[in-house]
């Protein structure tokens, strides 16, 4: 996608934010992509208001994927890019906005703790964090988040959860909305 197109999409995202009647807007926006992944749906997904089926549909559509990434980069309150090189410890990811720590439960029953540790003070950052969205090899996944406590959010995953594999993959980009 060319730079001007990205800029147009960014403006579109900001415009959607400012319009309170999203349903009305939806009626005026034509679908821009196939598989029902129009801008309104992408905008909803980027706000954490879409289910896993919609994210799957976006992952399968190249255009929708690019548009979704562009909207996400505008909407996300925190972002962690791909890791520069494969870390020696795949259970730790460091980033400018937040770090990720993956710790299996000591009961060894498959439960894994994922902690997102924010670098900014809680008062300075947007405390209304709803969703963690990962993007790895063209596939988007999401997990709902709990409240920030002591500058960190902790979620519980099963060790077979695909999101966990994404978090350990240095190719993965992470967005928090």
Partner 1 sequence: MTCVFIPTTQHPVEIISLTEEHSDIQSVICITNTFNALPVSTAYHGFVRRPTGIIQKLTGIPSFRADVSGIIDQGDSWQLSMLIAHRLHHHDQFRKAHDAAGHMAHIWASGQVDINQNVTPIQHIREKFQASQSLFDDIRSRGDQLHIVLHPDNWAELQDMITEDMICHRVSVAADIDQLLSDARLSVFQPHSNLATSRLRPHQNISTSFRRLFNRSWKRRMLGYGLTMSIMISLQQMIPWHPIHAAMEMEKSGAHVELIRMLKSYRQDDRFIPRLSFLYFEEAYLKEKSRTLINQLDMQLVWAVSDDNSATCGNAQMRWHRYQITDKTLPSLPRQRCQLYLEIQNNGTDRLALAVAIHAKDGDTITPILQPAQTELAPTEHIRHPVQTGDNKPLIIMMSASDHLTMNWYRWFKRWSNRPMGMNARKSLLDTGIGVHMAVQDKP
Which residues of this protein are in contact with partner 1, per CB under 8 A?
A: 101, 103, 105-107, 110-111, 113, 115, 146-147, 149-150, 152, 154-158
- The owner of tokens 């190249």 is 62
Give the shortest CB-158-to-partner 1 separation in angstroms: 6
Give the shortest CB-111-to-partner 1 separation in angstroms: 5
- How far, in Å, are 41, 54, 73, 110, 151 from residue 46 at the CA level? 9, 11, 9, 30, 23
By beta-carbon proximity to partner 1, the closer residue of 135 and 143 is: 143
Identify the H or E element spanning 114: strand 111-118
Give the shortest CB-155-to-partner 1 separation in angstroms: 8
Give the shortest CB-129-to-partner 1 separation in angstroms: 14
d(CA 50, CA 44): 6
By beta-carbon proximity to partner 1, the closer residue of 21 and 106 is: 106
By beta-carbon proximity to partner 1, the closer residue of 81 and 144 is: 144
What SS3 state is found at 130? coil
Torsion of CA 131, 69, 96, 48, to 10 degrees: -10
44 closest CA partner among 22, 74, 19, 70: 22
By beta-carbon proximity to partner 1, the closer residue of 26 and 159 is: 159
Tokens of 164: 């966990």
By beta-carbon proximity to partner 1, the closer residue of 73 and 91 is: 91
Give the shortest CB-138-to-partner 1 separation in angstroms: 27
């Amino acid at each position: 996608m060319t730079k001007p197109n990205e800029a147009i999409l960014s403006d579109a995202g900001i415009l959607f934010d400012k319009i309170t009647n999203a349903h009305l807007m939806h009626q005026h926006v034509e679908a821009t992509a196939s598989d029902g992944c129009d801008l309104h749906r992408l905008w909803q997904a980027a706000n954490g208001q879409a289910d896993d089926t919609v994210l799957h549909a976006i992952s399968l559509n190249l255009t929708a994927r690019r548009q979704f990434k562009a909207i996400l980069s505008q909407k996300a309150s925190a972002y962690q890019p791909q890791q520069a090189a494969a870390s020696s410890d795949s259970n730790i990811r460091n980033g400018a906005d937040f770090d990720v720590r993956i710790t299996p439960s000591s009961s060894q029953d498959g439960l894994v703790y994922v902690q997102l540790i924010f670098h900014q003070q809680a008062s300075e950052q947007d405390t209304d964090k709803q969703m963690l969205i990962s993007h790895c090899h063209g596939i988007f996944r999401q997990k709902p988040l709990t409240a920030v406590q002591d500058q960190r959010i902790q979620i519980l995953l099963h060790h077979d959860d695909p999101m966990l594999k994404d978090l350990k993959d240095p190719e993965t980009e992470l967005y928090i909305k």
